[in-house]
Amino acid sequence: MAARFVAQALSLCIGLLLGLPVDIEAADLGKAAKQGKMVLQEKCGRCHAIEAVGESPLKDAPPMRDIYARFNPRELQAELSEGMVSRHREMPQIEFSDEDVHAILAYLYALAVMK
């Protein structure tokens, strides 16, 4: 019972932060986080670490968990939606769909609360 309450409270907080519907169930959050990890692995994992620990494959690429910590959720949401711009020419500019942005933020938030 307590675990369900915590999951619902977490869903509410994420929904409020991102302006998403607050009726997200814990299972949906887990599904979104899994999807977010897959998207990051496919689009960003070649250079950036996407796990809770570990070094990035590309030395100069910050881990995604560090990128998440640098932005407030609305700024990061906008950056991902519009295509993050980097000072590094090698980094592609990727514009994620709204669904992918939600999933990425759910995954990165899950990493942040694991600490």
Q: What is the pLDDT of residue 95?
A: 84
Q: What is the pLDDT of residue 24?
A: 45
Inter-CA distances, 30 with 49, 61, 75, 78, 99, Å = 20, 27, 23, 22, 14
Q: What is the pLDDT of residue 34?
A: 95
Q: What is the pLDDT of residue 73?
A: 87
Q: What is the pLDDT of residue 33?
A: 94
Helix (H, G, I), strand (E, B) or coil at 78: helix
Supply the DSSP symbol for 58. S
Q: What is the pLDDT of residue 50?
A: 95
Q: What is the pLDDT along the chain (115 residues), one digit of tens a residue?
A: 555 544 554 554 555 455 544 444 455 668 999 999 999 999 999 999 999 999 999 999 999 999 999 988 899 999 899 887 676 777 888 889 999 999 999 999 998 887 6
CA distance 1 to 67: 34
Q: What is the pLDDT of residue 103?
A: 96
